[in-house]
Amino acid sequence: NAGVTQTPKFQVLKTGQSMTLQCAQDMNHNSMYWYRQDPGMGLRLIYYSASEGTTDKGEVPNGYNVSRLNKREFSLRLESAAPSQTSVYFCASRGPTRNSPLHFGNGTRLTVT
Amino acid sequence: AQTVTQSQPEMSVQEAETVTLSCTYDTSESDYYLFWYKQPPSRQMILVIRQEAYKQQNATENRFSVNFQKAAKSFSLKISDSQLGDAAMYFCAYRSAPNYGGSQGNLIFGKGTKLSVKP
């Protein structure tokens, strides 16, 4: 039972480079989320998708784009990476019941030099 | 907007002892959910316990229990018989009830408490 799978686990980029973080879940969840985690800041929501074909901005969306490719996959793209985007990125999904928790992937540590 | 505050950046406990991690939140909503997540050095986010605001009974999961005080907007986590494997960052999180005020079920996190367990 894989749950939420994120790739890659680690990435180093130079300022201005682009990359896409991949996320897939096998739990048939409608809702998916991207968070970033910075020291002393907790986790902050970047974007979320309530269902296939819909996406909405979270607390810190600037510099990112997302794609909900299908029900399973939700990708996060950095078009022109900046050092301020150095962070750990988590993808999560949530089931349909009222008290469903978020299920998280194992995170991607991204460093932008 | 809702906020979550964890006032203890770091805590320490002796193995086999009990420790309580604090969490307060600010909301004008009456229907919501509260969660504690554990993040060990592996970076994985692990659900520890959840509480539904409309339930007065405090949630319990084995050695983990909460003290939910709705009027005070407080949601503390008690870890009994602490074990070395409990050492981790602990995050308190709030979620509006789905479809409440446009909420799509995302979590609002506190900044975390780093728990150390001494042998």
pLDDT average, residue stretch A67-95: 95
Nearest Cα residue in chain B from A42? B111
DSSP state of A19: E
pLDDT of residue A101: 87
B114 touches chain A (CB under 8 A): no
pLDDT average, residue stretch A2-24: 95
Give me the residue from A31, A33, A99 closest to B52, CB to CB.
A99
Q: What are phi and psi of A52, to 5 degrees?
A: -55, 130
Give me the residue from B44, B97, B106 closest to A48, CB to CB.
B106
Please state whether the peptide bond connecting residue B9 to the residue before it is cis, i.e. omega within 30 degrees of 0.
Answer: no
B18 touches chain A (CB under 8 A): no
Assigned token pair, B48: 């520890």
> Tens digit of pLDDT for each residue in B4-32?
999 999 999 999 999 999 999 999 988 89
Percent of chain A residues topping a pLDDT of 90: 82
Please report residues of A whose CB lies closer than 8 A to that of B108: 45
B42 touches chain A (CB under 8 A): yes
| Res A9 pLDDT > 70 | yes
3 state DSSP class of A87 = strand
> Tens digit of pLDDT for each residue in A82-91?
999 999 999 9
pLDDT average, residue stretch B22-50: 94
Contact B104 A56 (CB under 8 A): yes
| Res A43 pLDDT > 90 | yes
Q: Which amino acid is at B23?
A: C
Percent of chain B residues topping a pLDDT of 90: 82
pLDDT average, residue stretch B32-58: 94
pLDDT of residue B102: 47
Please report residues of B whose CB lies closer than 8 A to that of A3: none
Assigned token pair, B72: 């005070």
